[in-house]
Amino acid sequence: MKSICVFCGSSDSVHADYISVAHQTGTLLARKGIRLIYGGGKTGLMGAVANGAVEAGGEGVGVIIPSMYTAALAHSGLTRMDVAPDMHGRKARMHELAAVKR
């Protein structure tokens, strides 16, 4: 497996244990050389998994829509950020990126 797509919550109102496990998951993906494809946010579980991956030197690819592509919501430390026109396109792009062989 070269890539994995993770689609999870962006709310910060999550128990700290879940945030910790999401961060650990991102770290593990990076250590295994698995590219993270996800929703592009920096908050909640989504941000935690990305932080774990990026901090461990892994590749993180975000896919976000224009209305969410703000300093308050978008992760700025990713390898790449794709902007999709809408939520349907966002999910389709994440699927496409995760399915591609590299």
CATH of the domain at 9: 3.40.50.450
pLDDT confidence bin for 101, thresholds 50/70/90 = low
Widest Cα–Cα separation across the chain: 36
Q: Residue 21 belongs to what domain range? A: 3-99
Task: Give the span between the Cα atoms of 66 and 23, in whole angstroms.
Answer: 26
Query: The whole model's pTM is what?
Result: 0.92
The DSSP element (H or E) to which 50 belongs, if any, is: helix 44-55
Angle, helix 44-55 to helix 16-31, in steps of 10 degrees: 40
- pLDDT at residue 7, as a whole number: 87
Domain count, the chain: 1
The DSSP element (H or E) to which 92 belongs, if any, is: helix 87-99
**pLDDT for 57-88, tens place per residue?**
999 999 999 999 999 999 999 999 999 999 99
Between the CA of residue 21 and those of 27, 59, 80, 102, what are the distances in Å?
10, 19, 23, 27
Within its chain, how far is the Cα of 75 from the centroid? 8
Picking from 50, 27, 102, the residue whose alpha carbon sits closest to that of residue 64 is 50
